[in-house]
Structure 1
Amino acid sequence: MDINRRSITIKISIIIILILAIIFIPNKYNSEKVQVYLEGEAIVYDGILSNEGNKEAFRLYTKNINRLIINSEGGEINTSLELAEWVYDRNLDIEIKNKAFSTVASYVFVAGNNKYLHKDSVIRWDNNLNDKKNIISNIFFKEYLKEIDEREEEFFEKINVDKRSVTYGSNLDFEKYEDSGKYVGWTYGLSALEKLGIKNVKLIDGVWNPNDNMKEKKIFTITDIN
């Protein structure tokens, strides 16, 4: 009986750790209400990506919808990939309203047919994705990590975008930014986006000049890809 109880306890502990490890959303955002609604021939998705938000976007979709307008700080990897694949499969345009951070930048933004930016739209890639993957790896959830990597690989092959876009700012060439403690991620210049295969970027205001200040920290810009 004691052995069985111990086995059950271990299994429950593993499940709890897995759930904690794959959550990409800071606690302060857990209660944020996600708003998904129609605006003309577009679906607006405002807030942290979630299964509920995705389902509402899918429900609202009709053949006359041609654009997803998004303002989000990210979400769990599989949830983000699900939305990105849906966008790509329907040939939808993406418009960044205010911000696209983390998994939204890595997957959803790059999946759009045309990618519309306002002059102050902020697109931020960061190390959170890799940090969380390392946590999962370190606690031996190899199978989950393998599934994520395989899905990610298939996704980037499908949309013909360089997968390095997810991690390029983590290269040793940019180590000084992370080591300084003053930066919280990176973005790409238009030329760098093009080289990574992130094409059809349209500037709604004719210019793109996002604010690089993220509260107390900043983001750096990668202008070229080797």
Structure 2
Amino acid sequence: MKVNMKKTVLSFLVVMSCNVLADELDIGNVSQEGMVMKYYGTLSYELNEKLFKLYEEAKIKPSALYIESDGGDVELGMDLGDWVYEKNLDIIVDSYCLSSCANYVFPSANHKTLGNQALIGYHGGANSTSFDTSAIDDMYKELPVEERKEKQRELHLSIKEYQKRVGARELEFYQKIGVKPDLATLGQ
């Protein structure tokens, strides 16, 4: 479990620092089959925008979103969740909907359909009370002590500012869709 938490922290830090642009990665695809929109892959700005455009261009508006996602950035999850809620879509999960997909996209749907082997994976949200930030210490271990401490302090402050901003948005999101805010953190 410790390894997974480090991966989560590292993913969080990558998103925070914007060192990797999503359009440089092959992270999934979106499509439409009849009345169902399909979303495969890590939540990304590009996939969200493609989905929104595909929906707007549809002559007959789809009524459901089939999703298979390992999650992604919390704000992108809330963007997609807002859209699903506003379009009053149903959601279908046959395989998995994890992290931000589970936290924000899944609960925002009108009706939910789960396959027999489906997995909805919550592991905390923007308002979690604890985060494993031990990876931050490892990131700067090669720097001289004073420089390392300053970099760690700056990054911790940046994370706190991000959590405050995104945490407020998360609370507003859950209130709008009528879901208790502790949905993603209850298991912690």
- TM surpasses 0.5: yes
For the pair 1:118 / 2:135, whether they are aligned, the reply is: no
Q: Give 1:127 deviation, angstroms.
A: 4.2
**Structure 1 residues 69-121: Cα deviation after superposition (integer angstroms, max 9, x where no partner):** 00011110111110000000110101113000111111100000000111111
Gaps of 5+ in 2: 1-11, 18-23, 137-152
The equivalent residue for 1:33 is: 27
1:146 paired with 2:164, answer yes
Identify, as 1 or 2, the structure richer in helix: 2
1:156 and 2:150 aligned: no
What's the CA shift string for 1:15-51, capped at 9, x where partnerless?
xxx862637xxxxxx8443110011111100111100
Aligned equivalents of 1:21, 1:40: Cα separation in 2: 34
- CA distance, structure 2, for counterparts of residue 117 and residue 160 of structure 1: 21
AA partner of residue 139 (structure 1): H
Gaps of 5+ in 1: 1-17, 24-29, 171-226
Give 1:114's aligned amino acid: H
| Alignment partners' CA distance in 1, 2:186 and 2:116 | 24
Deviation track 1:106-139 (CA, whole Å, cap 9, x = no partner) reads 1100000000111111111114764996649961
Say whether residues 1:53 and 2:55 are aligned partners.
no
Query: Does 2:23 correspond to 1:44?
Result: no
Residue-pair matches, total:
148
- Inter-partner Cα distance in structure 1 for 2:157 and 2:132: 10
- 2:77 aligned partner: 80
After TM superposition, the runs of 4+ consecutive aligned structure 1 residues lying more than 4 A away are: 127-138
**Paired residue type of 1:119:** N
Computing the radius of gyration over CA atoms, which structure comes out larger, 1 or 2? Answer: 1
Shift of 1:163: 1.0
Identity rate, percent: 33
Q: Give the root-mean-square deviation of aligned CA atoms.
A: 2.8
Structure 2 length normalisation: TM-score?
Answer: 0.70
Measure the CA separation in 1 of the matches of 2:119 and 2:87: 24
The alpha-carbon distance between structure 1 residues 102 and 19, as it changes in their structure 2 partners (threshold 3 A), is: closer
SS in 1 for 2:97: strand
